[in-house]
Structure 1
């Protein structure tokens, strides 16, 4: 049911800050990143028949597993990210919130979540959000961008200097999944507080549902890259 992700990545113009497609690794013990888990979550390296590799996360309920690159400090807090993911999503409770990417910045309380989503009335939809900063805990999900089992290539742009976040799914811009100083907190949070992006100095890719739930999640993540320019999915 869960296939190995096929890598068809061609990185040409972007200056890379971090890149990991797992193919050259023998384990997830690496000098370039750390694996962080909680609960009973497990992370493993798996291979396909053609030799390509991916990171597999096995997680129950609200356990968490993330890959965190070392020495992450993009100039001016501006960067692009890209990864491929395939996962199942929670069936309970209603309004369960999950994340795939989260970053933080030195001296700022904000937990910024450019890629995540929420279960609302039996549908999981992708969303963008934050927590712990002046704007509070919010997730702006879009029912028109449903979260399904199919593999997606997800890109995101973070600009601390311009104070905005953009997202792209399978190469297509997602204008509903963006955030800026004034565009945020549609769903909960403090709508009146300006959303000021911190300059990122830590980021992680993976999976967590924050609410206790009955789910067992098999998450496949591959082709992670961070660069100074848009990286692309081809």
Structure 2
């Protein structure tokens, strides 16, 4: 009886202490997360929707596969020709129309034809305006015979442009932790690669013509992450992008899981 009472008392004390201890900051929402996905809880195979996301594909497919490093799961996005395959996040409604996105990506190869072939990995949009803001993407530059990262925008009065930079070469076959911040204060796009800010890829109202209505964000409600190449009959004729560790947040989340 004495031992039983002592054990019960200990358990009661531990339980009371646990209940009285507040959760740590990391156990709550330390980065004001709006979305997170590592694909580990999804079954292997073709996928058309996940937890809080849908897909958009034409001449393309999305498949949950085993991690290339031998652990966990990843999303494989495959396209033929100038097809597209995107994971789509809708109804985001970020506070003050500003947010961060982080994802781990690896493109198996990049286009070498036709000249000026343009590709996109991330696209943000809003239903109130036709503008498409493309924070992650690039272009094959024939004069350099290489692909380079660039930030672009399409449709509407803000213009049609791709600000590729020779100081930011794009490399196939290598994992990269990519981040971007969309800041509505001055319509600024800031890009980070493997944790390092890339100032040459920053664009904003002032850095694109300098007029107040030259480059304006829509009211963001959708983000698409994946792959699209816009020119017909590209070389190579098909593309594969691996994606993992996706997060969307009101604050910067930081580095990807290895």
Aligned ranges for residues 127-146 of structure 1 at < 5 Å?
Answer: 127-146=150-169
- CA distance in 2 between counterparts of 1:74 and 1:141 reads 27
Shift in CA distance, 123/192, structure 1 to aligned 2, threshold 3 Å = farther
- TM-score after normalising by structure 1: 0.88
Whether the aligned pair in 2 keeps the contact of 1:160 and 1:198 (CA below 8 Å) is no
Which deviates more from structure 2 when the two are superposed, residues 213-222 or residues 47-56? Answer: 47-56
Residue in 2 that maps onto 1:25: 42
- CA distance in 2 between counterparts of 1:102 and 1:209 reads 13
Are 1:217 and 2:239 counterparts? yes
Whether the aligned pair in 1 keeps the contact of 2:94 and 2:220 (CA below 8 Å) is yes
Counterpart among 179, 195, 205 of residue 171 in structure 1: 195
Residue in 2 that maps onto 1:80: 100
- Determine helix, strand or coil for the equivalent of 1:176: helix
Q: CA RMSD in A?
A: 2.1
Whether the aligned pair in 1 keeps the contact of 2:187 and 2:216 (CA below 8 Å) is yes
1:165-193 C-alpha deviation (Å, 9 max, x unpaired): 111000001001111112137xxxx9995
- CA distance in 1 between counterparts of 2:93 and 2:211 reads 29
* Matched positions, count: 220
- CA distance in 2 between counterparts of 1:34 and 1:21 reads 15
Residue in 2 that maps onto 1:94: 115
Whether the aligned pair in 2 keeps the contact of 1:167 and 1:175 (CA below 8 Å) is yes
- CA distance in 1 between counterparts of 2:179 and 2:138 reads 15
Whether the aligned pair in 2 keeps the contact of 1:65 and 1:206 (CA below 8 Å) is yes
Which structure would you say has the larger RCO, counting Cα contacts within 8 Å and 6 or more residues apart? 1
- CA distance in 2 between counterparts of 1:163 and 1:61 reads 33
1:145-179 C-alpha deviation (Å, 9 max, x unpaired): 11112111100000113421111000001001111
Residue in 1 that maps onto 2:30: 13
Whether the aligned pair in 2 keeps the contact of 1:86 and 1:221 (CA below 8 Å) is yes
Which deviates more from structure 2 when the two are superposed, residues 78-87 or residues 206-215? Answer: 206-215
Unaligned runs of 5+ in 1: 1-9
Which deviates more from structure 2 when the two are superposed, residues 127-136 or residues 25-34? Answer: 25-34
- CA distance in 2 between counterparts of 1:176 and 1:13 reads 30
Whether the aligned pair in 1 keeps the contact of 2:117 and 2:229 (CA below 8 Å) is yes
Structure with higher helix content: 2
Residue in 1 that maps onto 2:226: 206
Unaligned runs of 5+ in 2: 1-25
- CA distance in 1 between counterparts of 2:171 and 2:148 reads 8
Are 1:44 and 2:67 counterparts? no
- Determine helix, strand or coil for the equivalent of 2:252: coil
Q: Return the offset for 1:70.
A: 3.5
- CA distance in 1 between counterparts of 2:186 and 2:164 reads 22
Residue in 2 that maps onto 1:228: 250
